[in-house]
Amino acid sequence: MSNILVFIEGANSELKNSTKELLSVAKNSGGKVLAMALGPDAIALAEKAAHYGAEKTFISSDNQFENYNPDLFVTFVADIVKQSQANIVLGSSSSLGKDLFPRVAAKLESGCVSDCTGIEFSGDNVTVKKPIYAGKCTADVNFENSAVKFVLMRANQLKINEADSGLSTEVVEVTPPTTDLKTLIKNIVKSTSEKVDLTEANIIVAGGRGMKEAGHFKLLEELADVLGATVGASRAVCDAGWVPHSMQVGQTGKTVAPNLYIACGISGAIQHLAGMSSSKVIVAINNDPEAPIFQKSTYGIVGDLFDVVPKLTEEFKKVL
Ligand code: FAD
């Protein structure tokens, strides 16, 4: 039976959905589910992780883990991986995960695969699916000669189990070593948006150059408000300064995989598709019937977005 260690990411003492997915898939595999939570709310996160099947959770509530700093995290996380005797480590393919785990894996002379969209366990082994060539193909990846297998999953790929509030976890408090830090994070300026981050969003309404100007993004915000969605954008409009780069979806932006992606006035360049083609349902609104985005769409609406989007908003308001 494999020991599967899940790295917990949370906010305000709540588990991120991506973490619930990891705990659920670990639990469903039949392996022993272990977890690791760092930061001031580690105990609260450990309790929540128990509800998804974490039997034992390694924590440090030390304030220094409030913000990610590779100097601080890498050695400590590697130590916990060793202490846990995990042979598989699951993390989210978030910016933190993608920075931290390749370093930890290198330290432990092990392999790490990021951006995975599927996972299958067999005994101590694991096979993962990873999109390659900007999403044009998907590779099945196995680990070889890797003592620990580090897998970083994209969000919204796995089913979340029902939480069982009757379950509890054994908490193991780990004391971090004193480290001479080379860098120190002084301050983090948080985004003022109340909306769910693009990478965690269940529904995304995204706009491209077809929006014509910055002010027209208001149309997308209105639709997003009705749907409980987050607004994203193509690089063309971020580069034009219409919206901030934090909203960019694609190869050089964020990789997203919501249940519903509504692309408005986006042509579907390969670099944009690379960031959103694993969305479950893709709806494209474009006035050019030949736009490449239609080849990737579940539903296509050929029309002027300035007619279509307000009508959708109006109709959704009636039913939601
Ligand atoms: P366009 O290609 O100009 O498409 C606009 C679309 O709007 C057209 O299809 C048009 O038919 C439609 N339209 C116009 N008016 C209307 C209307 N009234 N109603 C409905 N439809 C309308 N791009 C990304 O998005 N993300 C990335 O991460 C990214 N990374 C890149 C990395 C590299 C190295 C390079 C070279 C490029 C990258 N790009 C990226 C840019 C990418 O190649 C495209 O240029 C970009 O995605 C195009 O954005 P767009 O679809 O908004 O604009």
3-173 has which fold? Rossmann fold (3.40.50)
pLDDT tens digits, residue range 118-138? 999 998 899 999 998 877 889
Ligand 1, atom 4: closest residue by C-alpha? 267
Mutating to test ligand 1, I would choose from 115, 209, 219, 238 the residue with most ligand atoms within 8 A of its C-beta, which is 209
> What's the mean per-residue pLDDT of the chain?
94
Indicate whether residue 216 lines ligand 1 (CB < 6 A). Answer: no
Distances in whole angstroms, Cα of residue 227 to Cα of each of 205, 213, 256, 260, 311: 9, 23, 17, 10, 13
Q: Which residue do the tokens 């670990």 mark? A: 26
Give tens-digit pLDDT for 2-33: 999 999 999 889 999 999 999 999 999 999 99
Q: Is the CB of 121 under 6 A from ligand 1?
A: no
pLDDT in tens, 136-146: 889 999 999 99
Common-topology check for domains 3-173 and 198-319: yes
Contacts (Cβ under 8 Å, ≥6 apart) of 243: 207, 214, 217, 231, 233, 237
Decide: 134 in ligand 1 pocket, CB within 6 A.
no
Above pLDDT 70, what percent of the chain? 99
Q: Report which ligand 1 atom has the smallest distance to the Cα of 237.
A: 52
The response to whether residue 248 sits with its C-beta less than 6 Å from ligand 1 reads yes
What's the pLDDT score for residue 134?
A: 78
Tell me the C-alpha distance between 147 and 150, whole Å.
Answer: 10
Alpha carbon distance 280, 159 (integer Å): 13
Could you tell me the residue ranges of all domains in the chain?
Answer: 3-173, 198-319
Pick left, alpha or beta for residue 18 (phi over 0 → left; psi -120 to 50 → alpha; otherwise beta): alpha
User: What's the fold here for domain 198-319?
Assistant: Rossmann fold (3.40.50)
Ligand 1 pocket, 232 CB below 6 A? no
pTM of the full predicted structure? 0.84
Q: What is the mean pLDDT of residues 194-219?
A: 93
The conformation of residue 265, written as its DSSP 8-state character, comes to S
pLDDT in tens, 60-74: 999 999 999 999 999
- Give the Å distance between the CA of 251 and the centre of ligand 1: 12
